[in-house]
């Protein structure tokens, strides 16, 4: 897809409740870039730690998909709540009104389930409050976001090889903890994929557990042809993390590369989930 100046972006709260000031700044930033913005009706709703009820969120998500003026749907923020929605979404409606949903962290649950159930490409990307809700958004993050939307070929380079090699398939993944939380759902692609992932504030033993949880699923292990690692911020031991990935790379005969700016940090690349991918050494190429 391409996003042109004058197109309308729908910003929606799908997880945690939103800070009004950040929403307003994000809207102003997109307007300054030449886009129109529509906010979901639940954007300022609050139910405990959630942005309103599940029903309100789903109704608004469906409304934004049905609105032909809206060309892209951008999550406001992560936190928690997206997994509560996945079994009540009208995937036929999304399939019949295809447009990209963009976000990361908790929103990974929706990115993966929408792709699985509709085949519509979603985007692991910056979010409105998190990244665009500041006075001066990161140029790196903003440029990568619009490049991913508007360019057919994307190239990225990692920094460290744990297991060298070449892999092909679709690019697929997102936040590790959220991906693991989908276990029990039919969420794994039905074809070869390169798994990209990142996380924040998880101790190494939990990262170890979540990787093994996923790879204990025969289908996941059979179809996963390579691993692209983003940032794992706030771990309890960087040495343990390195040891774990070294050990894991020896156990599984697939390429594993780290150092990609897939992150909870302010500097992040955007990954279109479900497009064709090639991993060759440190180089990752995506072809839409």
Tens of pLDDT, residue by residue over 91-106, are 999 999 999 999 999 9
- Can you give the pTM of this predicted structure? 0.97
Supply the pLDDT for residue 120.
98
Supply the pLDDT for residue 102.
98
- Distance (Å, whole) CA 140 – CA 231: 16
Give domain 153-287's CATH number out of 3.30.1490.100, 3.50.30.60, 2.40.110.10, 3.50.30.50. 3.50.30.60
**Which residues have C-beta within 8 Å of that of residue 146, sequence separation ≥ 6?**
3
Average pLDDT of the segment spanning 146-173: 98
Give domain 8-150's CATH number out of 3.10.20.30, 3.30.70.270, 3.40.50.10740, 3.40.50.740. 3.40.50.10740
Digit-coded pLDDT (tens) for 215-260 = 999 999 999 999 999 999 999 999 999 999 999 999 999 999 999 9
Q: Domain-by-domain residue ranges, the chain? A: 8-150, 153-287
Average pLDDT of the segment spanning 120-125: 98
Q: Does residue 262 contact residue 196 with C-beta atoms inside 8 Å? A: yes
Residue with tokens 């934004």: 64
Percent of the chain with pLDDT strictly greater than 90: 99
Q: Does residue 209 contact residue 216 with C-beta atoms inside 8 Å? A: no
The C-alpha R_g of the chain, in whole angstroms, comes to 18
- Distance (Å, whole) CA 180 – CA 214: 6
Q: Does residue 102 contact residue 71 with C-beta atoms inside 8 Å? A: no
Q: Which of 223, 246, 97 is nearest to 167 (CA)?
A: 223
**Does residue 207 surpass a pLDDT of 80?**
yes
Digit-coded pLDDT (tens) for 48-77 = 999 999 999 999 999 999 999 999 999 999
Q: Which of 183, 241, 192 is nearest to 216 (CA)?
A: 183
Supply the pLDDT for residue 2.
86
Supply the pLDDT for residue 1.
75
């Amino acid at each position: 897809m391409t996003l042109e100046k004058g197109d309308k972006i729908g910003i929606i709260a799908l997880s945690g409740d939103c800070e009004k000031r950040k929403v307003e700044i994000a809207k102003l930033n997109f307007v300054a870039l030449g886009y129109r913005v529509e906010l979901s009706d639940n954007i300022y709703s609050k139910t405990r730690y959630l942005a309103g009820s599940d029903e309100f969120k789903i109704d608004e998500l469906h409304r934004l998909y049905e609105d032909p003026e809206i060309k892209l749907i951008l999550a406001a923020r992560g936190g928690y709540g997206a997994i509560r929605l996945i079994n009540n979404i009208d995937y036929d409606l999304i399939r019949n009104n295809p447009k990209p949903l963009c976000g990361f962290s908790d929103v990974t649950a929706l990115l993966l389930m929408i792709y699985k159930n509709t085949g519509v490409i979603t985007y692991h990307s910056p979010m409105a409050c998190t990244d665009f809700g500041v006075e001066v958004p990161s140029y790196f993050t903003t440029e990568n976001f619009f490049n991913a939307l508007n360019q057919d070929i994307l190239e990225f380079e990692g920094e460290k090889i744990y297991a060298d090699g070449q892999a092909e398939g679709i690019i697929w993944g997102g936040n590790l903890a959220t991906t693991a939380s989908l276990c029990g759902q039919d969420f794994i692609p039905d074809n070869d994929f390169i798994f990209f992932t990142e996380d924040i504030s998880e101790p190494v033993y939990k990262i170890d557990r979540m990787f093994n949880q996923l790879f204990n699923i025969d289908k996941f292990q059979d179809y996963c042809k390579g691993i692209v690692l983003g940032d794992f911020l706030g771990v309890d031991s960087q040495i343990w993390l390195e040891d774990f990935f070294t050990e894991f790379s020896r156990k599984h005969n697939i390429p594993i590369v780290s150092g990609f700016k897939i992150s909870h940090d302010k500097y992040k690349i955007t990954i279109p989930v479900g497009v064709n991918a090639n991993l060759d050494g440190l180089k990752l190429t995506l072809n839409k």
